[in-house]
Amino acid sequence: MDRTLGIETEYGITVDGVESVDVVAESIALVRSYTEVVPPVKDTEQKWDYSLEDPHLDVRGFRVEELLQDFDEAKYFAQDQNRKLSFQEIKSDLVLSNGARFYNDHAHPEYSTPECRSLRDIIAQDKAGERIIEECVRRRNRQLTRGVVKVFKNNTDFVGHSYGTHDNYLMDRRVPFERVVRGLTPFLVTRQIVAGAGKMGIEGEERVVPGHYQISQRADFFSVLVSIDTMNRRPIINTRDEPHANTEKYRRMHVIVGDANLSEVAGALKLGTTSLVLDLLEQDACPLHLELADAVAALKQLSRDPHLKIPLRLADGRTISPVDVQREYLAVAEKRLRGRDAETDWVLGTWRQVLDDLERDVWLCADRLDWVAKWWLLTTFVETEGVSWDDPWLQSIDLEYHNVRRDEGLHAELVRQGRMQRFVTDEEIRQAIRQPPSNTRAYFRGRCVEKFAKEMTSVQWDELAFADGNGEAVVRLLNVFDDETVQFYNAAVDKAGDVATLLRSLHHERR
């Protein structure tokens, strides 16, 4: 597979054993603990260039003057006035040697993977983020005199608040946006049967109902089909137009309707199947006859039906099972894409097997899918202990499934017992903690952090700036995606012994 991919994950954070928790302060402290023994990274702290971001740009061709989330931003800003910290200090942005970004975002530590072009790389980098945060938890707890910091790779606090996991895909801008909405919506609504993380309870901003098990952690929090917002009135199809690339060529498909996966196979399927569906959209081959009567209602209905027994209603009055919706996309992908490369064939084969198993017996997928694995744990506990499904213990078990501490987390225990299939090796994850992918511009960014952090004056996904004798030199990476250009930039940073040599090499190429 050959599409640039990335994942942004906000982690839940709390402190056990104390009466009140300032989660903003704890998130800041957790991020900053990374720099304890990583001096080059500390040199890039607070250098993220926010002036190059504009979340108000809409892919439909206009700029939104005001977002619903702007009100939240204003509220956070007012609260943070009392911290006596600058905006940059609160964010505590770090750019890591593997090309990733690690920072505080709305009281959540957030890890954004470097750009990747293979499923093995993106899953290794996503798992590397878990390991990095796990180590930061250990360091932070060594600093505390009371209480224990706990961090969870999940998407809900169980009292009406959700935090996101966004998967991102670079795609051809020429695809009409109406085709994207029509072709992608049924797929994303039903993708949760492969990629859901599972959750105890039904949740919303105004109510919490215990005792129900559902497939997706995020489904409760979506209320519209298409919108640019990401924190309020969340949409199934997000329209933010920030490709961090040449806007004449590329669009970034910013998918916010997804859960944080701990299962490596589920994570690989989530990104792999979505990437293949985007291939179909770009080829104008995506199934367009599956329009849902009410996509938002279908998203919630499906999430609350873990037995997969209730069919979804289509706009033309027909009904169809969620498994069959996925099969429609799979059939076209197999016809057009099978044999293209090994990763594509792995996705197609695994996708088909999972759908077959879900249709035959959901429990067959307990070794691959997060929501089934967690449901098995909870069901075993209910049967063994004789408790009811609204017992508060079940919510605690749900949460501990996502604990990033491998000596505490229940998912990690399933992995140790050999109950979860793997997609990458521990060695690949260890390498990803320090090493960026070698075939994307993330390598250039990561190596610049490793070699020239002190000379860097600002950093962004698509731009780096360095101090030189004439003030500041900017290196723009908007067009660094094709193999030849990526190889040139990456070779230049490998060969350069100093920033001046690097800049001369890049300037000579541009001439």
Write down the pLDDT at residue 468: 82
Q: What proportion of the chain, given as a percentage, has pLDDT over 70?
A: 96
pTM, two decimal places: 0.95
Of the pLDDT bands very low, low, confident and very high (cuts 50, 70, 90), residue 72 is low
Q: Which of 93, 105, 241, 357 is catalytic?
A: 105
Write down the pLDDT at residue 178: 95
- 19-23 mean pLDDT: 91
Summarize pLDDT for 240-276 with one digit per residue, the tens.
999 999 999 999 999 999 999 999 999 999 999 999 9
Of the pLDDT bands very low, low, confident and very high (cuts 50, 70, 90), residue 173 is very high
- Do 96 and 128 touch, CB atoms closer than 8 A? no
Per CATH, the number for 5-430 is 3.30.590
Which of 101, 128, 116 is CA-nearest to residue 41?
101
- 285-289 mean pLDDT: 94
Of the pLDDT bands very low, low, confident and very high (cuts 50, 70, 90), residue 79 is low
Kindly compute the dihedral angle of the four CA atoms of residues 385, 391, 394, 396, in this order, to the nearest 10 degrees. -120
CA distances from 434 to 100, 129, 160, 437, 447 (A): 10, 11, 36, 10, 10
CB atoms within 10 A of CB 143: 10
Q: Is the pLDDT of residue 474 over 70?
A: yes
Write down the pLDDT at residue 82: 73
- Do 177 and 62 touch, CB atoms closer than 8 A? no
And the tokens for 74?
């204003």
Q: Is the pLDDT of residue 287 over 50?
A: yes
Told to judge if 105 belongs to the known catalytic residues of this protein, a careful annotator would answer yes
Look over the chain and give the mean of its residue pLDDT values, rounded to a whole number: 93
Rounded to 10 deg, the angle between the 483-495 and 499-510 helix axes is 150
Summarize pLDDT for 107-164 with one digit per residue, the tens.
899 999 999 999 999 999 999 999 999 999 999 999 999 999 999 999 999 988 899 9
**Placement of tokens 């998407």 in the chain:** 155
Instruction: Classify each residue of 230-243 as buried b or exposed e, where b means 16 or more C-beta atoms within 10 Å of its C-beta.
Output: bbeebbbbbbbbbb
Summarize pLDDT for 381-423 with one digit per residue, the tens.
999 999 999 999 999 999 999 999 999 999 999 999 999 999 9
And the tokens for 80?
């943070």
Write down the pLDDT at residue 80: 67
Rg (CA), the chain: 22
d(CA 166, CA 81): 29
Distance of CA 145 to the CA centre of its chain: 33
Q: Is the pLDDT of residue 511 over 50?
A: no
Q: In the 3-class helix/strand/coil scheme, how is 369-427 assigned residue by residue?
A: CHHHHHHHHHHHHHHHHCCCCCCHHHHHHHHHHCECCCCCCHHHHHHHCCCCCCCCCHH
Kindly compute the dihedral angle of the four CA atoms of residues 54, 60, 63, 67, in this order, to the nearest 10 degrees. -80
d(CA 292, CA 298): 8
Write down the pLDDT at residue 68: 64
d(CA 277, CA 265): 18
Summarize pLDDT for 433-472 with one digit per residue, the tens.
999 999 999 999 999 999 999 999 999 999 999 998 778 9
Summarize pLDDT for 190-242 with one digit per residue, the tens.
999 999 999 999 987 667 788 899 999 999 999 999 998 887 789 999 999 99
Write down the pLDDT at residue 69: 62
- DSSP label at 50? G
- Do 123 and 424 touch, CB atoms closer than 8 A? yes
Q: Is the pLDDT of residue 55 over 90?
A: no
Q: In the 3-class helix/strand/coil scheme, how is 463-494 assigned residue by residue?
A: EEEEEECCEEEEEECCCCCCHHHHHHHHHHHH
Sheet strands (E) in 182-331: 199-203, 208-214, 222-227, 234-238, 250-255, 312-313, 319-320
Alpha-carbon torsion 238, 239, 242, 246, what sign?
A: positive
Residue ranges of the chain assigned to CATH 3.30.590: 5-430
- Do 26 and 15 touch, CB atoms closer than 8 A? yes
Higher pLDDT, 83 or 445: 445
Summarize pLDDT for 300-346 with one digit per residue, the tens.
999 999 999 999 999 999 999 999 999 999 999 999 999 999 999 99
**DSSP helix/strand/coil, 350:** helix
